[in-house]
Amino acid sequence: MVKAYPRRLEEGALGIFLIPPAVAIAVALLGGFPLGLLASVAKAQGWELGTRTTALTQAHGHAQLVGWAGLFIVGLASRLVPRFAGAPSIGRIPFVAAVTALSMGLGVRVVAQPLVGGGIGHMVMVAASALEAVGVTVWVWHLFPSLRRPLARGAPFAPYLTAMAFWLVTASCLQVFWWGLHGVVGGVPLLPFPLDQALAGALLMGFVVNTIVGVGLRTVFVFFGRPIPSSRMVWSMWVPLQAGIALYVLALAWTWHQPGDGWQRVEAAGHTLMGMGIVVPALLSGFWRPPVRLQARSREPGLLVKMGMAWLAGAGGLSAVIGAMGLVGDSWVPLAKVDVVRHILGVGVITTMILGMAFLILPPFALARQGKLPYRREVRLSLVALPLATLLRAVGGWV
C-alpha cells in the first residue's frame, strides 16, 4: 500500500501531461487531416470555392503545426525537459491554463477561418491568435527556468530547446501582429501569402524541428549507442539552423512589407542553411545502426524512430539542394519544392517520430511490452503506411 502510493502520484502527475497529446490527436483527426484532404480535393476537382480554398489550406497547416505537432510537443516537453534538467515540473495550474488558452485559440482559428467571413472573421482571427499567444507565453515562462542549468553546463539538448521556445514565442507574437494588420481577402480572413509562409517556416523549423533535434540528442543518440556530440559540434550545427530560419522569415516578411530585389537570394540562403543545420545531426545519430540500447521488445517500435531520423536527413539534404538551386538561379525557391520538404518533415519525420516515441515511452505501451506486445499490428502498419505516404507525397509534389 505504501509503495503503491508514490506510484499513483507519479501516474497522476504523468496523466496531466497527456492532455495536450490527446487534444493533438483530436485536432488532427477532426481538423487538420480532413481540412487538408478537402483543400486537395477542391483544387484537384476545380471546385469554385474562391479564396476559401486558401483559407482551408492555411487552417490545415496551422492545425497540423500548432495542433498535431505543437500540442504533442507541449505535453511531452513539459514532462521531459524538467527530467532532463533535474528540475521541478511545471505547476499544474499554469500548465492547465497555458494548454487551455492555446487549445481554445487553435480551435477557434481552425474552425472559423474557412467559415466566418468579413470583418467578424478578421476579429475572430485576431482574438484566436491572441489566445494562442497567451497560452504560449505562459507555457514558455514556466518551462524556461528548467533550461537555465543545462544551458550553463553545456548540455547538448539545451540550445535547441531554448531556440524552440524562442521561435514559438516569436511566431505567436508575429501572428497576432500580422493578423491585426491584414485580415480579409475576397471576403475571407486570410494572411498574405508571404507572411503565412514565414509563420509556417518559423513554426515548423524553429519550433518543431529544433525540438526533434534537441530531444534526439538526449534520447535517440542513446538508443543507437552513439557518442554525444561535443559542445563545439553542437553549436556548429545549431548556428546554421537558427541563421537559416531567421533569413527565411526575414526575406518573406520584408518582401511583403517593402518589396525589392535581392530577397530571393536571402530566402534561398535560408533554405540552404536550414538544410545543413538538420542533415548533420541526423547523420551523426547513426540511424542506420541497430538500436543497441533498446531491449528486444522495444526494437520494433524503435524502427519508427530510425525511420524518422532517416527522413530528417533526407529533408535536410533536399532543403540544402533547393536552396543552392535558388542561389545559382537567383530566383525564389518554388513553393512546390518547399512544400515537398515540409511534407517530408510533417509525415516522414514529425508523425513518424511522434508515433515511435509514443510507442516507446507512454505508459500503456510500456506496460504492454511486458506482455505479448498486443499493439504489434499497429506498429507494423505504421512502418508500412507512413513511409509510403511520405514517398507518394514527395514524388507527387516534386514532379
What string of H, E and C letters represents the secondary structure of 21-86? Answer: HHHHHHHHHHHHHHHHHHHHHHHHHCCCCCCHHHHHHHHHHHHHHHHHHHHHHHHHHHHHHHHHHC
| pLDDT reported for residue 296 | 65
Which residue bears the cell 508571404? 194
pTM of the model: 0.88
| pLDDT reported for residue 363 | 62
| pLDDT reported for residue 5 | 33
Euclidean distance between CA atoms 118 and 298, whole angstroms:
52
Task: Let me know if 44 is exposed, middle or buried by CB neighbors in 10 A (0-12, 13-18, 19+).
Answer: exposed
Per DSSP, 3 falls in state T
Q: What value, to the nearest 5°, has the Cα angle with vertex 296 and ends 292 and 302? A: 65
| pLDDT reported for residue 98 | 94
3-state secondary structure of 188: strand
| pLDDT reported for residue 38 | 79
Of 256, 143, 120, 260, the closest CA to residue 199 belongs to 256
User: To 10 degrees, the CA torsion angle through 35, 40, 41, 47?
Assistant: 100
Cβ(117)–Cβ(167) under 8 Å? no
Cβ(157)–Cβ(214) under 8 Å? yes
Phi, psi of 184 (to 5 degrees): -120, 130
Q: Look up residue 322 and give its three cell numbers.
A: 533547393
Which residue bears the cell 500500500? 1
What number of H helices and E strands is found in the chain?
Answer: 19, 2
Which residue bears the cell 518582401? 255
Euclidean distance between CA atoms 80 and 259, whole angstroms:
43
Which residue bears the cell 490527436? 25
DSSP letters spanning 335-372: HHHHHHHHHIIIIIIIIHHHHHHHHHHSHHHHHHTTTT
pLDDT mean for each 10 residues of the chain (399 residues) = 38 69 87 79 70 84 90 88 84 93 93 84 92 96 90 90 96 93 77 92 95 88 82 94 96 83 89 96 86 69 86 94 91 90 92 82 64 70 87 80
Euclidean distance between CA atoms 103 and 118, whole angstroms:
24
| pLDDT reported for residue 277 | 95
Of 65, 12, 14, the closest CA to residue 36 belongs to 65
Which residue bears the cell 559540434? 233
Cβ(228)–Cβ(237) under 8 Å? no
